[in-house]
């Protein structure tokens, strides 16, 4: 099947399938440089080189060898490949494997991974969100037409190693072996001229460069219309930028995607009272930690804003802690095939930018991986952040 041409970018012919082991037979690694052991730089290099048994462990059970990974990277740089992370509402693959994206936080996370990977390996990269409905709220994509890019294979490898500390704080460790897996993945992707379109949500290293944050902020800059809405909401809530603390509660996709909160205001038809529609934080075991932390808030010295994916939870917290500010806008999930209605999607972004102006974010999540929505917002805008597990 002839590869499809996209926006004037001509695809190369699919790479010929052949066993990797037959690509190269000589696996002796040659190192260019000054071999004089008095050379300071060379000594530092030798000091950081992994022992043979450590190198062997990195490639054990993998479908590639070290020399192949080195050569894949060499040819990528030689051909000046550009890696583009694409966010769109549907991915259509020629093998009839179609799939939906995950949430906005996941995409931001994967974009940071790509930026780090390309910087470390001398490659160029870009972020493209023009094909997702979220782009209508981002200034950089104003007046751009939407074209779904085909044959984008998701990078499936995961590198998240969760660890829950004694005080329920969620943390993780970065797995550097993911870089080799990603190199192998890139090698097998179709190329359009010098472009490779990918979908990656892999975790980056814990230290995000300022230049990468600035690029992400440039991509995420809201339109003028959305900026006015943000300012209006801040004024309505009597909040000043960088002078309030956000309490973010990630209660779970099940409740959100199944629309459990739908029609919560229509109590007459449902024969439910306002109290019955709330989640009782006093009796729900999962929320004991949240209740404990709420009791220790200092309303006389700080302003607090609650952001959550569960309206019923908001109602309960509003009942017991009326000093905590919040809105009750209906939202959606940006991925997982949810119906991305304009107003709901706009409300999700409104929450995101309200997070971005916080002085601190205290997040709570029912997931061991925490909340990508608040985590990667905090990373992008350099906001102090902590996430605890609700269990």
- Looking at residue 148, its pLDDT comes to 77
Triad 120, 121, 124: Cα angle to 5°: 100
Residue range 99-104: mean pLDDT, rounded: 91
Q: Predicted confidence band at 254 (pLDDT cuts at 50, 70, 90)? A: low
CA dist 126 and 332 (Å) reads 27
Distance CA 192, CA 128 (A): 15
| Each residue's pLDDT tens digit, 305-315 | 999 999 999 99
**377 and 105 in contact (C-beta within 8 Å)?**
yes
Residue 267: predicted pLDDT = 42
Q: Nearest Cα to 26, choosing from 61, 70, 59?
A: 70
pTM of the model: 0.83
Q: What is the pLDDT of residues 106-118, one digit of tens each?
A: 999 999 999 999 9
Residues 6+ apart with CB under 8 A from 72: 64, 183, 184, 186, 187
The pLDDT assigned to 40 comes to 46
Please report the pLDDT score of residue 177 as a whole number: 86
pLDDT tens profile 177-190: 899 999 999 999 99
* Calpha distance 156→202 (Å, rounded): 8
- HSE, CB side, 13 Å, CA atoms: give it for residue 313: 21
Determine the average pLDDT of the residues in 255-280.
52
Q: What is the arithmetic mean of pLDDT over 305-326?
A: 95
DSSP state of 368: T
Domains of the chain plus CATH, in order, are 55-219 (no CATH), 224-262+273-389 (3.40.50)
- 10 near 2, Cβ under 8 Å? no
């Amino acid at each position: 099947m002839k590869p499809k041409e996209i926006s004037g970018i001509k695809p190369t012919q699919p790479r010929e399938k052949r066993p990797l082991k037959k690509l190269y037979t000589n696996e002796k690694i040659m190192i260019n440089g000054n071999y004089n052991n008095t050379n300071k730089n060379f000594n530092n290099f030798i000091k950081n080189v992994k022992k043979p048994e450590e190198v062997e462990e990195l490639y054990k059970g993998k479908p590639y060898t070290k020399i192949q990974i080195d050569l894949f990277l060499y040819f990528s740089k030689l051909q000046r490949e550009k890696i583009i992370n694409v966010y769109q509402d549907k991915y259509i693959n020629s093998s009839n494997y179609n799939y939906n994206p995950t949430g906005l936080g996941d995409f931001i996370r994967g974009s940071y991974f790509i930026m780090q990977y390309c910087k470390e390996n001398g490659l160029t990269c870009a972020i493209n969100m023009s094909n997702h409905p979220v782009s209508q709220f981002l200034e950089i994509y104003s007046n751009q037409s939407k074209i779904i890019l085909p044959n984008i294979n998701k990078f499936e490898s995961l590198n998240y190693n969760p660890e829950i500390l004694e005080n329920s704080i969620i943390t993780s460790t970065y797995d550097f072996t993911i870089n080799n897996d990603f190199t192998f993945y890139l090698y097998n992707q179709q190329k359009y001229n010098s472009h490779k379109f990918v979908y990656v949500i892999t975790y980056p290293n814990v230290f995000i460069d300022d230049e990468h944050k600035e690029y992400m902020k440039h991509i995420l800059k809201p339109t003028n219309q959305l900026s006015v809405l943000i300012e209006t909401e801040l004024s309505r809530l009597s909040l000043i930028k960088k002078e309030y603390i956000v309490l973010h509660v990630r209660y779970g996709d099940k409740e959100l995607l199944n629309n459990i909160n739908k029609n919560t205001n229509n109590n007459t038809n449902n024969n439910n009272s306002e109290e019955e529609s709330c989640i009782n934080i006093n009796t729900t075991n999962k929320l004991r930690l949240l209740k404990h932390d709420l009791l220790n808030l200092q309303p006389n010295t700080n302003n607090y804003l609650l952001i959550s994916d569960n309206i019923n939870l908001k109602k309960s917290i509003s009942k017991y802690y009326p000093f905590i500010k919040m809105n009750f806008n209906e939202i959606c999930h940006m991925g997982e095939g949810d119906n991305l209605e304009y107003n709901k999607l706009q409300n999700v972004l409104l929450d995101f930018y309200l997070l971005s102006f916080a002085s601190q974010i205290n997040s709570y999540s029912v997931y061991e991986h925490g909340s990508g929505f608040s985590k990667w917002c905090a990373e992008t805008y350099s906001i102090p952040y902590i996430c605890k597990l609700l269990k």
